[in-house]
Structure 1
Amino acid sequence: DRLRFTFGVQALVETTSKGDRNPSEVRLLVQIQRNGGWVTEKDITIKGKTTSQYLASVVVGNLPPRPFNIRMRRMTPDSTTDQLQNKTLWSSYTEIIDVKQCYPNTALVGVQVDSEQFGSQQVSRNYHLRGRILQVPSNYNPQTRQYSGIWDGTFKPAYSNNMAWCLWDMLTHPRYGMGKRLGAADVDKWALYVIGQYCDQSVPDGFGGTEPRITCNAYLTTQRKAWDVLSDFCSAMRCMPVWNGQTLTFVQDRPSDKVWTYNRSNVVMPDDGAPFRYSFSALKDRHNAVEVNWIDPNNGQETATELVEDTQAIARYGRNVTKMDAFGCTSRGQAHRAGLWLIKTELLETQTVDFSVGAEGLRHVPGDVIEICDDDYAGISTGGRVLAVNSQTRTLTLDREITLPSSGTTLISLVDGNGNPVSVEVQSVTDGVKVKVSRVPDGVAEYSVWGLKLPTLRQRLFRCVSIRENDDGTYAITAVQHVPEKEAIVDNGAHFDGDQSGTVNGVTPPAVQHLTAEVTADSGEYQVLARWDTPKVVKGVSFLLRLTVTADDGSERLVSTARTTETTYRFTQLALGNYRLTVRAVNAWGQ
């Protein structure tokens, strides 16, 4: 339908006998053969001055039927002297077919720019996209992040950057996600509903305001393994995916009530008499400083690094740094919380416990919080079985003797008729095994489990991470230490000073690169044409130039300063000497 001709000059400059370099020009014709004769379609004149190659292009329409001949004709006589450089070249031609294409599931943008605005640098385009319309709960308002009433399990289309529903979309969408292998019934939407509410809760942003705890602002631009993408989402939400035998569910590291208590009376006793086996993380794996990479929207969506440190741990153990990428993070506060969560997890939750139970003792699933009452660890009896229950006298008969401390409140943990753990106050102990409590929970049965909470003994909570069936029919349980206070430490750990962007007006000047200086002589004086470019184009940025000369005594003397918004500048009337030129970019506030 059309042809684009690309042509230009290798150089275009005329040098006088005095050494001055002056502009020149060259004329070209673009011709097409029509009905046996050559017809001029474009008459082009290139004017200016350049010592390097310069290319331009024109588009010709209304083409004759194929096949036909085309040519470019130079009308300016060829140069016969080295003082005139105007050699032309025909670089290429491009066939353009005008057809309307459809681009399903694609946001298509076309931009035409003037090359004079960018000089020698490549044009870089960046777009801020809101992203996909997701399926979110029908009782959820993504704008206010509020939930109304009880969710009936249905969805509605809406824009949202809630990490849980971004993950739901990725798992169930048949085009770009895992929807062809996982159906909606295969993913635990109820677990994601609770996780989504947790992500939407407001926490301090570090600047005196609040923000959602976790948001997702990520672009999935390359094909990757599904497990890797799933791991990125889950790591950002502080959770792990678990297949429970029926659905893909998710376990989040957040404070929750314990579901069961384990002691020596309801676990499998090994031959060595130590049912609970503990291991600890290595000191080298306990990091106390993290460099968190995140996307800064106030700096052109460039990658920024947030350093998070635990100064007390550094002073005690020495500096141990690691790096991490905060997936989908565009908030400095969220990046700080991600790094602090990693540090506190490694420093506070250092223990892992392994034990085995019979089938009747398995009362939890991976992700549940359990309590371990280990007599060997505590040095006293902290758990066992209830042998008898007297609701009228509020007396429990235990299977082993206990001793109350001289001061403080002692609690005993029991299991009610609904299978829920309930803690009541111990008022007195008779004969070491008869315990009078403040009240007897409904449904406490004989031979049920009890656990003791002493004021001098910290409650030991663990989160189950795996359950494995052994060959003998028992179940091996692995759990990691759980510190409920960690959430408050992490959520309130971000405190920043000043503006998030690091500059007064939020514009960070780009770096100056590819600085060159072209020197020409002019009647015993010299001219210098300075050129440079930047990695990216930023509005509101100007350039400060500083030219100095080295004197005979070795000192440096200022010759000239200048400020320009262009990427070129010419210094004139310079004497022969050794000069130094510096160029730096500044914003409107001089930063």
Structure 2
Amino acid sequence: MGKGGGKAHTPREAKDNLKSTQMMSVIDAIGEGPIEGPVKGLQSILVNKTPLTDTDGNPVIHGVTAVWRAGEQEQTPPEGFESSGAETGLGVEVTKAKPVTRTITSANIDRLRVTFGVQSLVETTSKGDRNPASVRLLIQLQRNGNWVTEKDVTINGKTTSQFLASVILDNLPPRPFNIRMVRETADSTTDQLQNKTLWSSYTEIIDVKQCYPNTAIVGLQVDAEQFGGQQMTVNYHIRGRIIQVPSNYDPEKRTYSGIWDGSLKPAYSNNPAWCLWDMLTHPRYGMGKRLGAADVDKWALYAIGQYCDQTVPDGFGGTEPRMTFNAYLAQQRKAWDVLSDFCSAMRCMPVWNGQTLTFVQDRPSDVVWPYTNSDVVVDDNGVGFRYSFSALKDRHTAVEVNYTDPQNGWQTSTELVEDPEAILRYGRNLLKMDAFGCTSRGQAHRAGLWVIKTELLETQTVDFTLGSQGLRHTPGDIIEICDNDYAGTLTGGRVLSIDAATRTLTLDREVTLPETGTSAVNLINGSGKPVSVDITAHPAPDRIQVSTLPDGVETYGVWGLSLPSLRRRLFRCVSVRENTDGTFAITAVQHVPEKEAIVDNGAHFDGDQSGTVNGVTPPAVQHLTAEVTADSGEYQVLARWDTPKVVKGVSFLLRLTVAADDGSERLVSTARTTETTYRFTQLAPGNYRLTVRAVNAWGQQGDPASVSFRIAAPAAPSRIELTPGYFQITATPHLAVYDPTVQFEFWFSETRITDIRQVETTARYLGTALYWIAASINIKPGHDYYFYIRSVNTVGKSAFVEAVGRASDDVEGYLDFFKGKITESHLGKELLEKVELTEDNASRLEEFSKEWKDANDKWNAMWAVKIEQTEDGKHYVAGLGLSMEDTEEGKLSQFLVAANRIAFIDPANGNETPMFVAQGNQIFMNDVFLKRLTAPTITSGGNPPAFSLTPDGKLTAKNADISGNVNANSGTLNNVTINENCRVLGKLSANQIEG
């Protein structure tokens, strides 16, 4: 207000009085019915992860109506959901000049819901007041070619945000028909009036009361206002299908009463055995159309189900069932995959025994039958029991088990299971697995520990062949192997005779019993079951006296010793196969019954203290690694680590520093993540140090782990080890400090390269590796060959380092090498093959030629002539042959001679003296003219030799005339005459000087 007076006005803002009110109505199909239903009523329905009610039943989210049906064959339609609709989103602006038209083609709809509104609705006066405004819209249908207004809607009020409204159109015209929205109010031409209109969507509604038979459903009606613009998610915590369980089974108490008669009853259960039965026999969603109830061994499932219900420690000081099954099958999958997943939840495998689908569970059980060396059929090598062992890479020492964690909002958590002693012995060999249907941390831990102990304890497989006794057990049965060869003593056989009065057994072989301890013998009673009885006396090497004689023991029955120093060897049969000769091939894997106690008692967890201040102790970080990679000229580092235990709510702090020129560390980057990997990008060359530590929600930090790495070109090899071989040289570079990120480039040359800068243009590139074997028939003994090697990594390459080496000079080794090559060739096999001559002093002359194409369609040919004779039981061969063969090294032409003596004779002028003879591993020649001779040892004739040169460089000669220079570091000279001048640069010592 100025000097002359006046009147001030403060702009007025009217309240927003337009609010959208929309109800979301949805029906969720939970799954196949019937089901037990929500675990805790409305508290088991979670909207955006928030339960509808608290533990006392008080509403947490208001304005929600829920109706559920269990999924019976005959069930009533859900109240309030008498219609179903399909919404089509539009989101287009409607203007005065451009009405919006759409065509409806659906033939079965009964009504149409049209949703429309304004982006904002407000008018600003010249004085700055913001007041309500209005806009008018017409909703029209085209009937008989004319537009008919069905709804005349005026939106009057004020809103600064989007406002939507809906109207229902009944009495729709025949399909197809057009619908349009017309704006009657003039469009705004100024910012002072904001009244843009839009057509948001239309919904095609069908009025029908559907009961959804055999489908468990939940109907929800939710006021969308309280969720604003959030996308709404709904989760349900339910007890699943009502399935068939044994009639004497109480699924809540997990108890069994009396003897089961084989009948079933409907009940809810999460016992994996009866969940599997339901999946196999249900005709609608399972395999019931292909497998009948009689085709599945329910008696085996009954025993498996009892084993699953037994209580074991849960790791928190309480107990829980050994195995439960809580899974949601939402996708169609192959039957075998689903069956395998179900079986994995209870440590069993499916087996077709010829009549029914039965199941073999890994649990302790009684021995069905013992097998000894007298039972089995030996092979051509005299071996009865054939053993094999698992590979070391298949023995895992750590397992990460993924399971559904109720304490983590039913999200996936990971349980880390480790065997520290096995890690120290074998190293850390990690396996990642999913525990199917597992919602218990203790069960997940047991699943991982079972994998580790199975792979570490049960490493042996046995194969053997039997007669009719192979039918005395089926796959899955426990058998005992009494193998004399494996035990190193006689442990089993047959009973030859029985003296019932004295309880004395005569065995088919002599046995040795220890002087101390109690020994026992396993015998087969009249029921066909093995019985163990103590041995009380050993009157003779092949006789034993027992404490009691089992009923029904027969002569020629099987016996097996149990000695104090000899552990019983138990195996679980996994297959029985009938051979064409009437025998049975048995395959069994090692069985360690103590594994059950190790696994069931192996879980120990800290209590859940997440509700107390500073209750969750952050775990230590371990196994931290940093891997450097290059991408488009920039360097990246991928860090990986893990923790000894998985704790929810824990994140990880990362700190990356680089060494500065003054020796200090400069901070490069920090990061925080909930994962166990992190990637740093755009890093410059330098020496780095990465530190990672866990931190909980209250800021407490766990023990850190650090790793140093270097982004730089690698150092050159400090030394190169050259190992000679037959026509090959192995080059192994070594760094002064080991770096796992470094490999080596190998270049090869037959001559020395004086200018190291010419290596890449002159030498031959071999490859990049940690070592290289240069092997070729062109690598000749006695010649120098040159390697040029440099270090390489993702950053760069070092300078070249030269190394010179030779192939082996072991002559005897080369002869053995050629022996192997010759005997492997087709010509060598033909020449050296012995033909059995039936009579002594018999002989045979054979000439043969052959052409053929090998598997690679390569042409081969050979010709040979061979004479064979047998005399005094000895076989003699003389022959020669030519061949052209395709080998791994390439095409090979050979001329081979098989004889005691090979000689070349020139009979000209009556000279019968051979010019060359090879006999007795020696070669004889009169005169040799060579361009080059390589010989580790050279010796002249004479006794003793007048001249010799040994591989260590020692030269011995009776007389030597040397006209050139002599360089010697030390030595002794007798009776030396110096004809000309002599110069002594060092000290001269003499006992006597005459002048």
Q: Which residue of 254, 259, 262 corresponds with 1:153?
A: 262
Q: Which residue of 558, 567, 581 corresponds with 1:449?
A: 558
Q: Which residue of 135, 142, 150 corresponds with 1:27?
A: 135
2:111–2:172 Cα contact (<8 Å) kept: no
Counterpart for residue 213 of structure 2: 104
Question: The residue matched to 2:219 in structure 1 has which SS?
Answer: coil
Residues 266/97 of structure 1: CA separation in 2 closer, same or farther (3 Å cut): same
Larger RCO: 1 or 2 (CA < 8 Å, sep 6+): 1
Residues 295/431 of structure 1: CA separation in 2 closer, same or farther (3 Å cut): same
Structure 1: distance between partners of 2:269 and 2:345? 16
Residues 71/252 of structure 1: CA separation in 2 closer, same or farther (3 Å cut): same
Letter in 2 for 1:31: I
Residues 462/36 of structure 1: CA separation in 2 closer, same or farther (3 Å cut): closer
Counterpart for residue 380 of structure 1: 489
Q: Which residue of 310, 320, 330 corresponds with 1:201?
A: 310
Listed one character per residue, the Cα deviations across residues 257-303 of structure 1 (whole Å, up to 9, x for unaligned) are 10111110011122212211111111111111111111122333211
1:24–1:49 Cα contact (<8 Å) kept: no
Cα shift at 1:25 = 6.5
Structure 1: distance between partners of 2:320 and 2:412? 20
Cα shift at 1:233 = 0.9
Residues 193/21 of structure 1: CA separation in 2 closer, same or farther (3 Å cut): farther
Is 1:468–2:468 an aligned residue pair?
no
Q: Which residue of 110, 126, 140 corresponds with 2:235?
A: 126
Q: Which moved more, 1:87-96 or 1:486-495?
A: 87-96
Is 1:56–2:164 an aligned residue pair?
yes
Cα shift at 1:341 = 0.9
Letter in 2 for 1:49: T
Q: Which moved more, 1:192-201 or 1:37-46?
A: 37-46
Residues 447/25 of structure 1: CA separation in 2 closer, same or farther (3 Å cut): farther
1:92-241 correspondence runs (5 A): 92-241=201-350
Is 1:358–2:471 an aligned residue pair?
no
Cα shift at 1:36 = 7.9
Structure 2: distance between partners of 1:485 and 1:16? 88
2:531–2:550 Cα contact (<8 Å) kept: yes
Counterpart for residue 313 of structure 1: 422
Question: The residue matched to 1:110 in structure 2 has which SS?
Answer: strand
Q: Which residue of 520, 526, 530 corresponds with 1:421?
A: 530
RMSD: 3.0
Cα shift at 1:85 = 5.7
TM-score by length of 1: 0.79
Counterpart for residue 155 of structure 2: 44
Counterpart for residue 260 of structure 1: 369
Counterpart for residue 339 of structure 1: 448
Listed one character per residue, the Cα deviations across residues 374-413 of structure 1 (whole Å, up to 9, x for unaligned) are 1111111111111111111111111111111132111111
Cα shift at 1:6 = 2.9
Structure 2: distance between partners of 1:22 and 1:204? 70
2:400–2:430 Cα contact (<8 Å) kept: yes
Structure 2: distance between partners of 1:46 and 1:311? 72
Structure 2: distance between partners of 1:112 and 1:488? 51
Counterpart for residue 683 of structure 2: none
Structure number with bigger Rg: 2
Cα shift at 1:362 = 3.5
Q: Which residue of 182, 193, 197 corresponds with 1:88?
A: 197
Residues 238/47 of structure 1: CA separation in 2 closer, same or farther (3 Å cut): farther
Structure 2: distance between partners of 1:21 and 1:141? 74
Structure 1: distance between partners of 2:372 and 2:178? 93
Residues 471/84 of structure 1: CA separation in 2 closer, same or farther (3 Å cut): farther
Counterpart for residue 626 of structure 2: none
TM-score by length of 2: 0.48
Structure 1: distance between partners of 2:574 and 2:413? 33
Counterpart for residue 478 of structure 1: 587
1:470-509 correspondence runs (5 A): 470-499=579-608
Question: The residue matched to 1:336 in structure 2 has which SS?
Answer: helix
1:297–1:330 Cα contact (<8 Å) kept: yes
Cα shift at 1:59 = 3.4
Runs of 5+ consecutive residues of structure 2 not aligned to the other structure: 1-109, 617-695, 699-995
Q: Which residue of 286, 297, 303 corresponds with 2:395?
A: 286
Question: The residue matched to 2:597 in structure 1 has which SS?
Answer: helix
Question: The residue matched to 2:606 in structure 1 has which SS?
Answer: coil
Letter in 1 for 2:448: G
Structure 2: distance between partners of 1:90 and 1:109? 31
Question: The residue matched to 1:108 in structure 2 has which SS?
Answer: strand
Structure 1: distance between partners of 2:434 and 2:129? 53
Counterpart for residue 22 of structure 2: none
Cα shift at 1:336 = 1.0
1:4–1:57 Cα contact (<8 Å) kept: no
Question: The residue matched to 1:29 in structure 2 has which SS?
Answer: strand
1:23–1:49 Cα contact (<8 Å) kept: no
1:199–1:213 Cα contact (<8 Å) kept: yes
Counterpart for residue 403 of structure 1: 512
Listed one character per residue, the Cα deviations across residues 177-213 of structure 1 (whole Å, up to 9, x for unaligned) are 1111111111111111111111111111111111111
Cα shift at 1:443 = 1.2
Letter in 2 for 1:29: L
1:23–1:48 Cα contact (<8 Å) kept: no
Residues 204/13 of structure 1: CA separation in 2 closer, same or farther (3 Å cut): farther
Structure 1: distance between partners of 2:133 and 2:543? 110
Percent identity, aligned pairs only, is 71
Residues 26/456 of structure 1: CA separation in 2 closer, same or farther (3 Å cut): farther
Letter in 2 for 1:372: I
Counterpart for residue 524 of structure 1: none
Listed one character per residue, the Cα deviations across residues 108-130 of structure 1 (whole Å, up to 9, x for unaligned) are 22323333433443211111221
1:12–1:23 Cα contact (<8 Å) kept: no
Question: The residue matched to 1:388 in structure 2 has which SS?
Answer: strand
Structure 1: distance between partners of 2:341 and 2:556? 45
Letter in 2 for 1:27: V
Q: Which moved more, 1:305-314 or 1:483-492?
A: 305-314
Structure 1: distance between partners of 2:131 and 2:538? 106
Question: The residue matched to 2:238 in structure 1 has which SS?
Answer: coil
Structure 2: distance between partners of 1:323 and 1:196? 27
Structure 1: distance between partners of 2:417 and 2:466? 41
Structure 2: distance between partners of 1:138 and 1:425? 43
Residues 270/161 of structure 1: CA separation in 2 closer, same or farther (3 Å cut): same
Cα shift at 1:140 = 0.9
Listed one character per residue, the Cα deviations across residues 509-537 of structure 1 (whole Å, up to 9, x for unaligned) are xxxxxxxxxxxxxxxxxxxxxxxxxxxxx
1:41–1:60 Cα contact (<8 Å) kept: no
Question: The residue matched to 1:126 in structure 2 has which SS?
Answer: strand
Cα shift at 1:44 = 3.4
Structure 1: distance between partners of 2:398 and 2:561? 37
2:134–2:154 Cα contact (<8 Å) kept: no
Structure 1: distance between partners of 2:302 and 2:536? 42
2:115–2:199 Cα contact (<8 Å) kept: yes
Is 1:348–2:457 an aligned residue pair?
yes
Question: The residue matched to 2:234 in structure 1 has which SS?
Answer: coil
Structure 2: distance between partners of 1:199 and 1:364? 24
Letter in 2 for 1:113: V
Listed one character per residue, the Cα deviations across residues 544-575 of structure 1 (whole Å, up to 9, x for unaligned) are xxxxxxxxxxxxxxxxxxxxxxxxxxxxxxxx
Aligned length: 504
Counterpart for residue 327 of structure 1: 436
Runs of 5+ consecutive residues of structure 1 not aligned to the other structure: 509-584
Question: The residue matched to 1:312 in structure 2 has which SS?
Answer: helix
Question: The residue matched to 1:330 in structure 2 has which SS?
Answer: coil
Q: Which residue of 458, 471, 477 corresponds with 2:567?
A: 458
Letter in 2 for 1:136: V
Structure 1: distance between partners of 2:252 and 2:198? 58
Q: Which moved more, 1:93-102 or 1:37-46?
A: 37-46
Listed one character per residue, the Cα deviations across residues 316-348 of structure 1 (whole Å, up to 9, x for unaligned) are 211111111111111111111111111111111
Residues 373/2 of structure 1: CA separation in 2 closer, same or farther (3 Å cut): same
